[in-house]
Amino acid sequence: MSVLSQKDKFLSAHARRALLIVGFMLLTAIFFVVFAIVELRPKLHAVILERTENILQDRFESRVQFADYDVSLFPRVHVTISGLVLHYKGRMDLAPLLQVDKISIYANLMSLLRANPRIELVQLDGLQIHTPPRHTGGEVMFHGTNSILSEKYPAYIEEVRAENAIIVIFQDNPDKPPRELPIHRLRLSNLSFDRAAAFHAVLENAVPPGSIDASGQFGPWIADEPSDTPATGEYTFQDANLGTLKGLSGVLSSKGTFTGPLNYISVQGSTDTPDFALRTAANPMALHTDFSAVVDGTNGNTYLNRVTAQFRHSTLVVSGKVVDLNQSVKSRTIVLNAVSQNARVEDLIRLAVKGQDPLMTGSVKLQTEINIPEGDSDLIDRLRLKGQFVIANGQFTNPQTQEKVDTLSRKGQGQPNDFDISGVASGMNGKFLISGGNIDFSHLNFGVNGASVDLSGTYNVDDGLVDFHGKLFLKAKLSQTTTGPKSFFLKAIDPFFKGENAGTVLPIKITGPRENPKFGLDRHHDSSKDDSPAPKKGE
């Protein structure tokens, strides 16, 4: 036998012994695996269940209930929990804080057995979150719950997924239906008890309906008072149909940032509505706003610190609130204050009045209080505005109307045949009250060079009819408003229409459609009831 042959035999025997050892080790490992599955699985099953229950109960300060659960260990740990229900602080009289049809937890066994357990994925099916009502003035308590939990359960979850979940926000008044916020997709990552988690959510806004895409940081969860849980991030809001708000039309989009606790979220952002319109006018126009607001995420109340609204060549600055004042009505009350120092009257007319050609052009200063009570009826029918305005350098777009204004100025100056007096600029100021589709004007003053008019009356937004009554003040005497024999005979009655500062005072009325109003003497006007002051001489 050669040396090479003896060496081969030695290596062959050595390999067989190595294979026997490896085989024995594999059989031993298989034996222990089978033993663990058969003997230890129920114990691991119970340990994992107990640990999960304790974490959830301590985390949310809630009573925990399971309908069923299952644990499999290989090829990796897979825990399935069915019918999870968490009752907020054991309050069985309230809707559960959390309901999940099915929870699937995936992890590596060795990662779970570490001092700092690590979970790869938690999948939530049929997730419902019910936020308990927050009562104004209620005590808020902080006990450092999360720091205690992070020491007791130093767990770390890489990712949480939920599809087609829903957040239900209950109101203070039990008669008020809860607000529902459907979440199409939710992702949480890097979740632990002592820090904020990154999130990405796609959800559906109810009114106006539209899709919200939000991402940022959420938490850590404050079990003592969930509404104090902080959130920060950014959002986009797309395809919001304003037509669901009766009286409005257009498709709105918005983007911005938010930060703060759920019950006091500070929001900064902007909106764009390229086809915004009111029912009364149906004149679509591009509307852009920049806003700063505070939102109470627990009840939906919104407080507008400042909204700058821009449309055409006009800018309005608005502040106010959108809140639930009437506990017996479904919607919300809108209370706003709007101010503009240099808007265009033609823009406001296009916004509020039907027709492509505005009645008048000019710059306008405006201040108004806006109140829209809660209700399901048309927003325009509920709209109530009270304010005042000043129009400068106004001119009428209808040639016939402008000609009447030019004629008024000629006669007021005692130069009825001076046709160089044309294209006369008008000034107007007054107070108004809009309610139920009608505009009531008081102390409405309209002035041109040589003449002014003090009026009160109404304008109907829907049918466009005007009905004004008041006084006409002329700088000239009545006889100076015409020429020839008519002027001669009018001299006899000049004293009867003489104003306090000479000139002429006449009772007048303006009635008819806004496109072609009729001007005339108001023979039934009782001047003794009209306390409008006459303008100073020369106005």
Give the C-alpha separation, 198 to 233, whole Å.
9
482, two tokens: 């015409």
Average pLDDT over residues 302-311: 92
The C-alpha angle with vertex 400 and arms to 398 and 404, in degrees rounded to 5, equals 115
Confidence (pLDDT) at 405: 85
Q: Is the pLDDT of residue 256 over 80?
A: yes
457, two tokens: 């009356």
Other beta carbons within 10 Å of 143: 11
Confidence (pLDDT) at 530: 46
Q: pLDDT digits over 208-235, tens only?
A: 888 899 999 988 777 566 667 788 999 9
Structural contact between residues 85 and 96, judged by C-beta atoms closer than 8 angstroms: yes
Cα 43 to Cα 39, 46, 124, 145, 296: the distances in Å are 8, 5, 25, 29, 46
* Greater pLDDT, 71 or 362: 362
Give the helix, strand, coil percentages of the chain, each rounded to 5.
25, 45, 30
Give the C-alpha separation, 468 to 512, whole Å.
10
Q: pLDDT digits over 446-497, tens only?
A: 888 888 889 899 988 777 788 989 988 888 777 777 787 777 666 666 676 7
Confidence (pLDDT) at 239: 87
Spell out the long-range contacts of 517-520 with Cβ–Cβ below 8 A and sequence spacing 24 or more.
Answer: 517/401, 517/466, 519/404
Q: Is the pLDDT of residue 85 over 90?
A: no
Q: Is the pLDDT of residue 5 over 90?
A: no
Q: Is the pLDDT of residue 508 over 80?
A: yes
Confidence (pLDDT) at 56: 59
- Whether a cis peptide bond, with omega within 30° of 0, leads into 75 is yes
The C-alpha angle with vertex 284 and arms to 279 and 289, in degrees rounded to 5, equals 100
Structural contact between residues 226 and 256, judged by C-beta atoms closer than 8 angstroms: no
- In 85-189, where does DSSP find H-type helix? 109-112, 145-152
Helix (H, G, I), strand (E, B) or coil at 281: coil
CA-CA-CA-CA torsion sign (307, 311, 313, 316): negative
Q: Is the pLDDT of residue 135 over 60?
A: no
Taking the whole predicted model, whether its pTM rises above 0.85 is answered as no
CA-CA-CA-CA torsion sign (460, 466, 469, 475): positive
* Greater pLDDT, 154 or 347: 347
Give the C-alpha separation, 141 to 522, whole Å.
71
* Greater pLDDT, 533 or 157: 157
The C-alpha angle with vertex 178 and arms to 173 and 180, in degrees rounded to 5, equals 160
- DSSP secondary-structure letter at 500? B
377, two tokens: 């009826």
- Comparing 62-71, 120-129, 301-310, 361-370, which segment has the lowest mean pLDDT? 62-71
Q: pLDDT digits over 188-203, tens only?
A: 888 876 778 899 999 8
336, two tokens: 């706003």
